[in-house]
């Protein structure tokens, strides 16, 4: 029996920048969506100053989907997301990315969870990796983030309230009336020049700080594209460096300012960063490839902590009240 969702209004949001071919794949899958009876829905594509054929792709699908677009000239995903918050017409914003394949039941499963959890501020679902080519098995073993597709997530088969577990922007939704006018932080999120992430995690953290409820929808599934360029050692090293920066900014760990401080970071962190670099270089010359990659991952994390610790210190994040 078809679900009746006359009480819901949903804006599916895709923020995009210069990935028109992938965007076309994403929109093509959305033409196959199962749509609940009576649902008021739209797909809002935020063009974040693209210079490719993004607008042509949007026009090509405009007769097949309830699609509209808006243009955000300021580079950076957080700017695009905040534009979406202003432009969306739905009571719920259902976020995904321009490199995602949604399950045919994705929208139906989301609506079912939203109706069963009317007090939820946020809803998230599983994200599975979509590998166009098989990754190097050694890289998968050494860099767990590659194994799960960088934002892969699965919190089990039960629909439930999430206490501390994360959900990610490739597959999450916010109920606008429950988020109190929150905005995405411009210091976080990719902006073309940086792979820095954490804009979605920070947003969920602030929802929880405001006593918002986050709910898991286990059948609301998507697959996230893993570009072959991300299956390389330089990318993975940069990813772990930026991940470490994100985690430090998110937690503001006081331990990062413990002991003597040199140029905005604890001396032990300077030492650990230098020592980890020397260990990596030595292992590159005299050790196995696997050990060298493990040392590189370790160094990337220390370097990320060092960079972000200095930045947070300049911002006054660790000052005593």
Q: Could you tell me the pLDDT band of residue 313, with boundaries at 50, 70 and 90? A: confident
* Residue-wise pLDDT tens digits, 234-290: 999 999 999 999 888 887 665 565 678 898 899 999 999 999 999 999 999 999 999
| Residue in this structure with the two tokens 């979605």, named with its chain if needed | 200
- Strand order across the 9-16 sheet: 67-71, 40-47, 9-16, 92-97, 172-175, 122-124, 214-216, 160-161
| CB of 125 closer than 8 Å to CB of 220 | yes
Taking CA atoms, 122 is separated from 95, 133, 202, in Å, by 11, 33, 13
Min mean pLDDT across 97-101, 121-125, 182-186, 275-279 is at 182-186
Q: How far apart are CA 16 and CA 232, in angstroms?
A: 23
Size (the chain), residues: 321
Q: Which positions ≥6 away from 250 have C-beta within 8 Å?
A: 198, 201, 202, 205
In this predicted structure, what is the pLDDT of residue 321? Answer: 38
β-pair type (92-97, 222-225): unpaired
Structure tokens at 27: 């929109």
- The model carries a pTM of 0.87
Q: Supply the mean pLDDT for the chain.
A: 92
Q: Tell me what percent of the residues of the chain surpass a pLDDT of 90.
A: 82
- Which residue do the tokens 């767990």 mark? 144
For residue 1, the model assigns a pLDDT of 41
Rounded Cα gap, residues 229 and 238, in angstroms: 12
What lies within 8 Å, CB to CB, of 23 at 6+ separation is: 14, 16, 45, 54, 57, 58, 98, 99
Specify whether the CB–CB gap between 205 and 199 falls below 8 A.
no
Residue 320: per-residue pLDDT: 43
Nearest to 241 by CA among 291, 169, 306, 289: 306
Alpha-helical (H) ranges within the chain are 20-30, 54-61, 77-87, 106-116, 137-142, 144-147, 199-209, 233-251, 267-286, 289-315
């Amino acid at each position: 029996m078809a679900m009746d969702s006359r009480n819901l209004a949903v804006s599916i949001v895709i923020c995009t920048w210069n990935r028109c071919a992938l965007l076309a794949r994403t929109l093509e899958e959305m033409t196959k969506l199962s749509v609940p009876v009576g649902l008021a829905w739209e797909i809002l594509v935020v063009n974040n100053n693209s210079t490719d054929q993004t607008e042509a792709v949007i026009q090509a699908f405009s007769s097949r989907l309830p699609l509209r677009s808006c243009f955000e000239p300021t580079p950076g995903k957080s700017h695009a997301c905040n534009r979406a918050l202003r432009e969306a017409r739905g009571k719920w914003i259902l976020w995904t990315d321009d490199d995602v394949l949604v399950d045919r039941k994705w929208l139906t499963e989301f609506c079912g969870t939203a109706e069963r959890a009317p007090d939820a501020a946020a809803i998230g679902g599983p994200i599975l990796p979509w590998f166009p080519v098989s990754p190097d098995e050694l890289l998968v073993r050494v860099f767990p983030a590659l194994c799960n597709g960088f934002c892969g997530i699965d919190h089990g088969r039960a629909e439930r309230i999430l206490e501390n577990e994360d959900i990610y922007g490739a597959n999450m939704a916010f109920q606008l009336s429950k988020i109190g006018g929150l905005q995405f932080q411009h210091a976080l999120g990719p902006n073309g020049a940086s792979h820095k992430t954490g804009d979605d995690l920070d947003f969920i953290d602030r929802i929880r700080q405001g006593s918002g409820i986050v709910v898991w929808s286990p059948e609301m599934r998507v697959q996230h594209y893993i570009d072959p360029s991300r299956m390389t050692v330089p990318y993975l090293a940069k990813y772990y460096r930026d991940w470490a920066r994100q985690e430090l900014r998110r937690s503001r760990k006081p331990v990062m300012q413990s002991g003597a401080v040199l140029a905005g970071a604890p001396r032990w962190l300077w030492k650990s960063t230098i020592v980890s670099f020397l260990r990596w270089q030595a292992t590159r010359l005299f050790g196995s490839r696997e050990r060298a990659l493990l040392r590189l991952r370790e160094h990337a994390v220390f370097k990320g902590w060092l960079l972000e610790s200095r930045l947070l210190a300049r911002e006054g994040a660790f000052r005593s009240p």
